[in-house]
Amino acid sequence: MRWVVALVFLAVFGGSVPASAASAEAPQPLCTMKDPRIGELSGLVSDGKQLYAINDGGSKVQVFVLGRDCKVQKVLTDKTDPFDVEDLARTPDGTLWLSDTGDNQKGRLTVALLEMNPQGKVKLHRLTYPDGQHDTEALIMDKAGTPYLITKDILGEARVYRPSGPLASPGPTTLEKVGTVKIATTDTQGGPVGSIGSVLVTGGASMADGSVVALRTYTDAYVYAAPDGDVLAALQRNPVRIPLPGEKQGEAIAFDPDGTLVSGSEGVGQPLRTVRGAAASAASAAPSADGTPVSSTGGGASPDDGGVPVLPAAGIAVAVAGLGWFGFTRLRRRRG
């Protein structure tokens, strides 16, 4: 019920964060994900030659190494049993970081990061939030190896967390809230729940050198310049929005080393697509002084433009119905 109330609130008042129009190219097909083992693509990274992909959920750790033709070349596995893996990051030393942070039912006492070395060995790092449970599907690693977790929030105001100290193994290490990201609704077509999907953060990515970072929703990518490698400072800037229309359930996002954005959706037979010049479009965009998507803790609130109506009554009804179906199917296939 609270989801329905929140959805109606969002539909009436909208989000409040501006984003400059994308100057990058439109998404172009790269290849098609035909392997039935990757039916719930949720996280993606690229080293320029290969792609690394994960499903969400799962009962064991699996990272699929793909060629640029989307064909599986090998699978990195570990016996560690995750709860709900949602995103993937890669540090310059080749370490893969799996974000086991999904929590649709808001019932987990701890979440986790799974650190996988190039040989496939996994180290567990448990984490706890300081303020209750959150469903989190986006992970960004900065160039120093600090992880940032960005929550999936129905009102379009995602919370940003990072560890309060060095990661312990197995932990837990306490997270600290360091900011919020407000995302406005868009009219980009796609996703499983209509306009509400345009504010739900479903993935994150970073350039290998940390100079540009990105968040995505079911329908759009938001690309932020980070010239000094500071993720939090980057998220305080006005992003470049890149529409990713037509993705059935878009959750995966990555950068190639040349700054091309790669995006993908759940579902066998869905394409991976590329957006050339995505990182350059953010790097060349001047930060806006009249809207900051993130407010650092202690730095004041993010500006609020008051919002505008974005859905008529019929649209709200359709969105509510769609959200009910989506929540039921997602919860039904989640463990615990």
Q: What pLDDT band is residue 36 in, cutting at 50, 70 and 90? A: very high
Q: What is the structure's pLDDT at 20?
A: 54
CATH code given to domain 2-303+312-331: 2.120.10
Phi, psi angles (nearest 5°) of residue 9? -60, -45
* pLDDT confidence band for 57 (50 / 70 / 90): confident
Q: Taking all residues of the chain, what is their mean pLDDT, rounded to a whole number?
A: 83
The 3-state DSSP class for residue 294 equals strand
Is omega for the bond preceding 170 within 30 degrees of 0, making it cis? yes
Count the neighbouring beta carbons within 10 Å of the beta carbon of residue 170.
11
Cross-strand bridge partners of residue 64: 53, 75
Query: CA 85 → CA 166, 251, 257, 269, distances in Å?
Result: 21, 12, 24, 21
Report the side by side order of strands in the sheet with 20-21: 20-21, 240-243, 220-225, 212-216, 203-206
Q: How confident is the model at residue 94 (pLDDT cuts 50, 70, 90)?
A: very high
pLDDT band at 19 (very low <50, low <70, confident <90, very high): low
- Count CB neighbours of 167 within 10 A: 18
pLDDT digits (tens, 9 = 90+) for 262-318: 999 999 999 999 999 999 999 887 454 344 444 333 222 232 332 223 333 334 333
For the stretch 225-242, pLDDT in tens is 999 999 999 999 999 999
CA-to-CA distance for 116 and 247, rounded, in angstroms? Answer: 29
322, 193 in Cβ contact below 8 A? yes
pLDDT at 54 over 90: yes
Which residues neighbour 90 within 8 Å (Cβ) at sequence distance 6 or greater? 45, 47, 52, 96, 97, 141, 208
Question: Residues of 224-236 as b/e, b for ≥16 C-beta within 10 angstroms?
Answer: bbbeebbbbbbbb
- The single-letter DSSP state of residue 197 is G
Residue 132 has pLDDT above 60, yes or no: yes
Is residue 132 packed enough to be buried (19+ CB in 10 Å), middle (13-18) or exposed (0-12)? exposed
Mean pLDDT is lowest, of 83-92, 127-136, 306-315, for 306-315
Residue 98, helix vs strand vs coil: strand
Least confident of 17-31, 82-96, 142-156, 244-258: 17-31
Domain ranges of the chain: 2-303+312-331
